[in-house]
Amino acid sequence: MNISFILGLLAGFGLVIFGIISSSSSLSQVTQSFVDFPSMYITFGGAIAATVMSVPVKYLKDVPQNMKVLMKREKIDLNLYIDTIEELAKEARLKGLLVLEEKVNSMDLQDEFLKYCVMLIVDAIEPTKVRAQIENEIDCIEARHASAWKVFDTLAAFGPAFGMLGTLIGLINMLANMDTSQGADALGKGMSTALVTTFYGSMLANMVCAPISNRLKAKHDEEMIAKEMIMEGVLSIQSGENPKYIREKLNSYITYKERGSEAAEADGEKSKKSAKRGKKKSEANA
Amino acid sequence: MNISFILGLLAGFGLVIFGIISSSSSLSQVTQSFVDFPSMYITFGGAIAATVMSVPVKYLKDVPQNMKVLMKREKIDLNLYIDTIEELAKEARLKGLLVLEEKVNSMDLQDEFLKYCVMLIVDAIEPTKVRAQIENEIDCIEARHASAWKVFDTLAAFGPAFGMLGTLIGLINMLANMDTSQGADALGKGMSTALVTTFYGSMLANMVCAPISNRLKAKHDEEMIAKEMIMEGVLSIQSGENPKYIREKLNSYITYKERGSEAAEADGEKSKKSAKRGKKKSEANA
Amino acid sequence: MNISFILGLLAGFGLVIFGIISSSSSLSQVTQSFVDFPSMYITFGGAIAATVMSVPVKYLKDVPQNMKVLMKREKIDLNLYIDTIEELAKEARLKGLLVLEEKVNSMDLQDEFLKYCVMLIVDAIEPTKVRAQIENEIDCIEARHASAWKVFDTLAAFGPAFGMLGTLIGLINMLANMDTSQGADALGKGMSTALVTTFYGSMLANMVCAPISNRLKAKHDEEMIAKEMIMEGVLSIQSGENPKYIREKLNSYITYKERGSEAAEADGEKSKKSAKRGKKKSEANA
Amino acid sequence: MNISFILGLLAGFGLVIFGIISSSSSLSQVTQSFVDFPSMYITFGGAIAATVMSVPVKYLKDVPQNMKVLMKREKIDLNLYIDTIEELAKEARLKGLLVLEEKVNSMDLQDEFLKYCVMLIVDAIEPTKVRAQIENEIDCIEARHASAWKVFDTLAAFGPAFGMLGTLIGLINMLANMDTSQGADALGKGMSTALVTTFYGSMLANMVCAPISNRLKAKHDEEMIAKEMIMEGVLSIQSGENPKYIREKLNSYITYKERGSEAAEADGEKSKKSAKRGKKKSEANA
Amino acid sequence: MNISFILGLLAGFGLVIFGIISSSSSLSQVTQSFVDFPSMYITFGGAIAATVMSVPVKYLKDVPQNMKVLMKREKIDLNLYIDTIEELAKEARLKGLLVLEEKVNSMDLQDEFLKYCVMLIVDAIEPTKVRAQIENEIDCIEARHASAWKVFDTLAAFGPAFGMLGTLIGLINMLANMDTSQGADALGKGMSTALVTTFYGSMLANMVCAPISNRLKAKHDEEMIAKEMIMEGVLSIQSGENPKYIREKLNSYITYKERGSEAAEADGEKSKKSAKRGKKKSEANA
């Protein structure tokens, strides 16, 4: 569960509703002013209609799937991937590349992309081709992911536009029918109704669509970093590099702090003077 | 027929019209307030005039053609292309590249670009030149496609601008002639008329031009992915790669789900343990 | 003559003026409301002053020249260039590269850039250097062209800004001197005058500067495609490629439709079955 | 201490508060008009909630750390780095690369990144791999840094959006309850309260978030230049270049003025005729 | 002296002041309405404070220096550079590269960057390293120059933001204290004062900061073209190319018109038939 997203959503709506209630005279007035179905049809309906016109049907079909991804997927633990790749590298050194297929299927970490990459090197394809193919795979994944947030970006752009359209419609009608004999009170009510669509459009964009789009992009970025790291790791395994050196290389993808603790955990006695680490490795590599 | 586009268009206009009617006093008032020919001349006329000034005539001449493309073209089935390319690859392995010319002309899938690419390898041009030429062809197609949405992007930018210009004209005239002896009702009517141009401009941009431009871009993106995939496939055929391996490579362009079903369909017994697939292929490749 | 530009300009101004007149009470009122010299000084004067501050004098000096280019230059006929390059290629095959100098000077198509490129290969400079030099020439032309629309982009940005400044000045003065004893009519007139500068700024940007800038960019894009095609063609001539193959290669720069008719015209009997074309060419190339 | 940031913050808030007080009738009125808790909940609460929804929790956890970086880190002295690298280069020439490990740990300048780079060359990894690894390290640092300002950029975007939302809520409620019998005074008070949220949102964006984000980016840029310089320097050390030439090369990263003074300080007698410097170096290099 | 900049500045301010005076009732009213110190503190003070928070102190310290550059530096004469480089090329051909050091110091054109480049080839560093080093030098100059306009871009962004903040403060205070018994005149005065900050902010951005930033960028672009041309020229000298050919190559950086006159001036008799030029050169090169 993506708790921070849900908490933010609840808090945001709670605060806006609290703000609405605290600045209005009575609850019945709130529902009267802020719940207006024709305004909803124009704003939400119009924005959704324009979005349906804008994006291929396929993108819309993927929305439920993407929402599930947004809600469920846990944080990616890069350290776990580094451990796994180091383990695979050790295995490959001892028993050759062919054994990796079995190994990767029996591991705790069940990652489709890692398996895909490992299969490529098991298939004994030459390194430059493997890199090209994995990079192409990543590009294609990127293109597919982009369709997820394009829907919400489009909706976030049309929301305020149709909100303003609704307000214009309300204003035009109100001004055309203006009857000063009814007093300014009626005028105020008309304006109030006209402005509700702008409120709806702004809420749709800022409270729902923009945060979803932002979070999907952030999740995508995290995932891309992991995928890039896996690619580098697997290519290093293929070229037969030292498992320790591969870990060192992949450490670039995590912060200094995470590296330190990780290294300490992994090779206890070295943790005192990290400078020594480099030298020993150099001997191993030479 | 691009059904989702047409449904979106009808729903969008329907909702806006419904919103207009439901918030106005009478139908005759609606036509009086929302149908104003001078306002249309300024907004639509001005925006179209500025667009005609902005883009070459050629772009405008292509608009009907582009609208037809937007309306008619069906979704691109990448799996069909992958099947076709695999078939061509098998044929080329058995009978040589020269036979592909006949083959591609007798196939179900009639795709101009695929034929173009196949002709290049039939002509025995060297691989790097073929790639350069196909990439150039793709770039040129991209440049031509861009002219399609540039017209609508320009119109979408000028629509609201001329809408605001019309509102300014209406306001300036109204304020200059303001006669408070006529009461605020007349003022209201003046304002109402002035705002109609902003409404027109916003509708032109958000209900028509932006969705058309967005959809044309989305269709273009889809097509470019297909073209890129065809290029990679044809180049793989030229370099004599294994048909199975070519399919595997092109699978990057489709989702994991589509791949699975495709593979299952194609080579039945392998579908149980997908891990085996990789290994067998590696033997075939070695 | 760039007829579409002039028609758009006339139609745009015509429609706006028609809109102004049709929404105002009398013609004398129109001139009174919409022609205000101090407002012009602030909006046009201010925007031009800020533009003069923003761009080098050289850019401003080139404006008349650029306007002439915008108005006069005809559409670029890529087919004519392809024909010319094919002719040059044939000549070069028969009589060697040195003869091209005379040939290019005696041809119908008098294009400075084509001559420049031909001279480079006549001078027997090595291919990679020729490409580098032509690419550098294109980059430099691009940089010079960009100065043309930068002036209008800058003016289009400052127009509305100084329009708003003028409206602010008008509003501040009006509000400071507000004398309710004169009635709301005077207030209306003041507001009307204040808004005229916003109208001017918006017209300057949307009716004049943005379309000019857009069209200059569109003309530049067309020209760049032609230049790139010439470069590819001339480099192909230098490397001694088959004239037919060169035409085929350059065909990427034009649409399928234009290609077809061109090819049909050039080599009559082949036009029936376009598939045959490829094969014959392959024999010629082999 | 980042004095200019704190001074700017204090001055900015001071000036705004001074402006508020000087334009209001009494201090009690100020607190009444500008301190409104429900408005704060909507604007700050809503913007923060939308930001929490938009960014991964990890980014938020790093905020205190990033604020500390913003506040504490001193200006980077590139000259000091150049001196250090020159010293390391001299040491490496005399005693070999292996001695650098001890040297870099005993130096005044304790820079993690410099140590990291030095370790790589001590480990005798081949130059192209070292460059690739350091560049990857820099890219990863860049990606981590970006998360710092993304939080503030997101908050700066949502601040004004929720400010406007709050104003819309206030206006809708006020207009719906408008009671002209209470006089325009009550109306004014309502408007005043409605506008406070826009004020809050604008302050949050322009006085707090945008400056923090800008400064974090500026600090990052400075740091990246230093890191790039260190990389170039360390790679030059590895390829055994002349220490004087390395200094000359790294001098590109600092201004002519700083270079002059630096050179003068370092090699006294040469400072008179800088032209001579080049010649002597050329002899040493030859 | 950068006359066009100063003329633009004077004309712009003159026109705005003229517009202010011509639309106001009396001069004393102008000073009363448009000179308001608390408004200045909020707008200018706030914008400057936010800019100080946003950029490193170093950038601010460089402002006077950058203003001097903006005001004083003359237009760059590329022809003069081409002449100089041709002269250096001739000298190098006759007497070798080592003599260039003396030559470049004794020349009329005293350009630090040209000297820097010449020194690098005098030092007999290998061509690819020279190119890398000059390109790095150019990149570093670019990064330093960017700090010049970043200050003004930041100020131009914060100006209108703090102007609007000031107007919000004014409006909130005015509306909170609204006393309709004082009549609408007082209300008007309050609004007038509130709007002055928006006016200040807009002037700061559009009349001062944006033009300065634009001009600095334009100057930078011109300088970068010159630097790039110098680099190409000096590298051609190093590779021992024909001085005439070097001139021909560098001619890409200037317009056809400038080239013609230059060439005519330099090699009189050739100017009649420019076609001949190419051929003769080809013989010299062969």
To 10 degrees, the CA torsion angle through D134, D135, D136, D141?
Answer: 90
Contact D275 E119 (CB under 8 A): yes
The 10s digit of each residue's pLDDT in A170-223 is 999 888 877 666 666 677 888 888 999 999 999 999 999 999 999 999 999 989
Q: Residue E277 pLDDT > 60, yes or no?
A: no
Closest Cα in chain C to B59: C218
CB atoms within 10 A of CB C273: 10
pLDDT category at A166 given cuts 50, 70, 90 is very high
pLDDT category at D2 given cuts 50, 70, 90 is confident
Average pLDDT, chain A: 84
Check whether residue A5 and residue A57 sit in a common domain: no
Q: Is C286 inside a domain boundary?
A: no
Stretch E68-96: mean pLDDT: 87
Report which DSSP code applies to C45. Answer: I
pLDDT over 70 percentage in chain E:
87
Number of separate domains in chain D: 2
Check whether residue B180 and residue B50 sit in a common domain: yes
- pLDDT confidence of residue C111: 85
Q: Is A241 inside a domain boundary?
A: yes
pLDDT category at A111 given cuts 50, 70, 90 is confident
B and E touch with 3+ CB pairs <8 Å, answer no
Q: Is C280 inside a domain boundary?
A: no
Q: Which residue has the higher pLDDT, B69 or E187?
A: B69
Stretch A155-170: mean pLDDT: 95
Contact B45 C212 (CB under 8 A): no
Q: Residue B37 pLDDT > 70, yes or no?
A: yes
Check whether residue A139 and residue A11 sit in a common domain: no
- pLDDT confidence of residue A77: 86
pLDDT category at A278 given cuts 50, 70, 90 is very low
Closest Cα in chain C to B181: C185
Contact B196 A172 (CB under 8 A): yes
Check whether residue B102 and residue B237 sit in a common domain: yes
- pLDDT confidence of residue C275: 39
Check whether residue B15 and residue B114 sit in a common domain: no
* Distance in angstroms (rounded) separating the CA atoms of residues B23 and A176: 12
Check whether residue A15 and residue A67 sit in a common domain: no
Handedness of CA A121, A127, A133, A138 (dihedral sign): positive
Average pLDDT, chain C: 84
Q: Is A207 inside a domain boundary?
A: yes
- pLDDT confidence of residue E180: 62
What is the ipTM metric for this complex? Answer: 0.84
Domain of D159, in residue numbers: 36-270
Q: Is A80 inside a domain boundary?
A: yes
A and E touch with 3+ CB pairs <8 Å, answer no
Residue contacts between C and E (CB atoms, under 8 Å):
170
Q: Is B132 inside a domain boundary?
A: yes
The 10s digit of each residue's pLDDT in E184-240 is 667 788 888 899 999 999 999 999 999 999 999 999 998 999 999 999 999 999 988
Residues of chain B in contact with residue C195, where contact means CB-CB under 8 angstroms, are 168, 171-172, 175
Q: Chain C closest CA to E111's CA: distance in Å? A: 21
Check whether residue A84 and residue A122 sit in a common domain: yes
Residue contacts between B and C (CB atoms, under 8 Å):
170
- pLDDT confidence of residue E122: 87
Contact A15 D173 (CB under 8 A): no
Check whether residue B104 and residue B183 sit in a common domain: yes
pLDDT category at B60 given cuts 50, 70, 90 is very high
* A23 touches D50 (CB < 8 A): no
CB atoms within 10 A of CB D143: 14
Check whether residue E78 and residue E8 sit in a common domain: no
Three-state SS string over chain B comes to: CCHHHHHHHHHHHHHHHHHHHHCCCCHHHHHHHHCCHHHHHHHHHHHHHHHHHHCCHHHHHCHHHHHHHHHHCCCCCHHHHHHHHHHHHHHHHHHCHHHHHHHHHHCCCCCHHHHHHHHHHHCCCCHHHHHHHHHHHHHHHHHHHHHHHHHHHHHHHHHHHHHHHHHHHHHHHHHHCCCHHHCHHHHHHHHHHHHHHHHHHHHHHHHHHHHHHHHHHHHHHHHHHHHHHHHHHHHHHHCCCCHHHHHHHHHHHCCHHHHHHHHHHHCHHHHCCHHHHHHHHHHHHC
Q: Is C3 inside a domain boundary?
A: yes
Check whether residue A14 and residue A40 sit in a common domain: no
The 10s digit of each residue's pLDDT in D19-70 is 888 877 788 888 888 998 889 999 999 999 999 999 999 899 999 988 988 8
CB atoms within 10 A of CB C29: 14
The 10s digit of each residue's pLDDT in B144-171 is 889 889 999 999 999 999 999 999 999 9
- pLDDT confidence of residue D263: 46
User: Closest Cα partner for D150 from D215, D223, D55?
Assistant: D55
Minimal Cβ distance to D53: which of A23, A29, A215: A215
Q: Residue C135 pLDDT > 90, yes or no?
A: yes
Report the residue of A18, A23, A214 to disrupt the D interface, i.e. the one with the largest count of D CBs within 10 Å: A23
Q: Is D238 inside a domain boundary?
A: yes
Check whether residue A88 and residue A25 sit in a common domain: no
Q: Chain B closest CA to A95's CA: distance in Å? A: 16
Q: Chain E closest CA to C103's CA: distance in Å? A: 11
Contact B195 A176 (CB under 8 A): no
What b/e readout covers D158-194, taking b as 16+ CB neighbours within 10 angstroms?
Answer: bbbbbbbbbbbbbbbbbbbbbeeeeebebbbbbbbbb
B and D touch with 3+ CB pairs <8 Å, answer no
- pLDDT confidence of residue D10: 95
Check whether residue E123 and residue E14 sit in a common domain: no
Contact partners for chain B, using 3 or more CB pairs closer than 8 A, are A, C
pTM score of the predicted model: 0.87
pLDDT category at B283 given cuts 50, 70, 90 is very low
